[in-house]
Structure 1
Amino acid sequence: MTKVRVESFSISIDGFGAGPEQSLENPLGVGGTALHEWAFATRTFQTQLFGNQGGEIGIDDDFAARGFHHVGAWILGRNMFGPVRGPWLDESWRGWWGDNPVYHTPVFVLTNHPRAPLVMEGGTTFHFVTDGIRVALERAREAAEGKDVRIGGGAATIRQYLQERLIDELHVAIAPVLLGTGEHLFGGVDLPNLGYKCAQHVASERATHLVLTRA
């Protein structure tokens, strides 16, 4: 059965999933890169995302690796695709990741502005969905062909899916960082009332990992 999952979503101690002022120079917002140091060090990220050899194994790598297991499609908010705002004036922006993005599956990007599908190397095709989160999920489920759908973020997109009780499992990595401002992951979300509970928690030297599940 297809699950809807959030994996390896990093937040600060004070709950922010990105820093302020996202831009081409600061794709994760000012200070946001520090949230992901636990993941950057892992063997999974070094080999699969950066094309390097080596990397750390252990708790952090176990969580990083499971985030790519049995995933057949992704959903992203538009800010996760890039810093461009408003109508697509042209199609020159093709994502943060170069010609061969890290997804290797169909990716459904939530937006208010239509754009033709963007076919990339390595099996990634970006589909731009203007009909809302439920339509994006329906299309992603179909494209996943029995595998899971991963909600990649950002924080606002995850909140929307949480509020509709559409996420089955949520892995959050709390980094030992204070941002003070930015995009808060759980702001306005009553997790217990929505049926979510903490099913697992484990700490490494670089992060505290929590897995929330929906009853």
Structure 2
Amino acid sequence: MTKVTSQITVSLDGFMAGPEQSEENPLGIGGERLHEWFMGQRERHPVDEKVARTLLDGNGAYVMGRNMFGPIRGEWSGDWRGWWGEEPPYHVPVYVLTHHARESVEMEGGTVFHFVTEGFDAALASAREAAGPTKNVCIAGGASIVNQALQADVLDELYVHYAPITLGGGELLFAPGALGDARLEVVESISSPYATHVRYQRAIGTSPR
């Protein structure tokens, strides 16, 4: 059965990106420090390496927000194709939530970006269909989209990587009211000096929407 999951890194004060995101600064001021456990210059700690090996496992489709896809706001202009070069790491369909229609963009390696204007529920439904019964749907981010998934109570599993930094502003996970009726419980917590990795799942006895 298809599960809906999310894997995200946040600061200790709860931000998934720093303030003032832009094309030059896609993760906002200081936001690149969030991912040093994964993409830093040092050799990965064994705990972080174990987690990193599983980041994309089992996913048959993704849902992401337009802010995660790129810095363009309003009507589309130019030929922006994402932050990840010609071969993004996803290799499956990715459904991008936006208020502005756009033709799908096919990339090398199997990633296809589809642009959904009908809202979160429509994007999730398309992703579930694309993933099929044996693969998961991953809510890739940013914070607004993960918060929508929490508020809609559709997440079966949430894996949060807490980086030992503060950002003081930006894109906030667990914004006021974001949890809605979702009830989660901790099923795993492991740490390195560079991150604490906490896996939450839907509380026993509760059912997805």
3-state SS of the aligned residue for 1:66?
Answer: coil
Runs of 4+ in 1 over 4 A off after TM superposition: 190-193
**Residue 213 of structure 1, CA deviation:** 1.1
1:65 has 2:65 as partner: no
Q: 1:88 to 1:192 in 2, by over 3 A?
A: closer
Matched residue, 1:98: 85
Matched residue, 1:204: 192
How many angstroms apart in 2 are the aligned matches of 1:191 and 1:199? 18
TM-score calculated relative to the size of structure 2: 0.91
TM-score calculated relative to the size of structure 1: 0.89
How many angstroms apart in 1 are the aligned matches of 2:178 and 2:128? 26
How many angstroms apart in 2 are the aligned matches of 1:56 and 1:175? 14
**Residue 55 of structure 1, CA deviation:** 5.2
How many angstroms apart in 1 are the aligned matches of 2:169 and 2:45? 32
Unaligned runs of 5+ in 1: 43-53
Root-mean-square deviation over aligned CA pairs: 1.7
> Which of 110, 122, 131 is the equivalent residue of 1:144?
131
How many angstroms apart in 2 are the aligned matches of 1:41 and 1:69? 21
**Residue 191 of structure 1, CA deviation:** 4.2
- Aligned AA for 1:171? Y
**Mean CA deviation greater in 55-64 or 165-174:** 55-64
**Residue 3 of structure 1, CA deviation:** 0.7
On the 8 A contact 1:191/1:197 being kept in 2, the answer is: no
On the 8 A contact 2:104/2:114 being kept in 1, the answer is: yes
- Aligned AA for 1:69? D
| Identical residues among aligned pairs (%) | 50
Matched residue, 2:183: 195
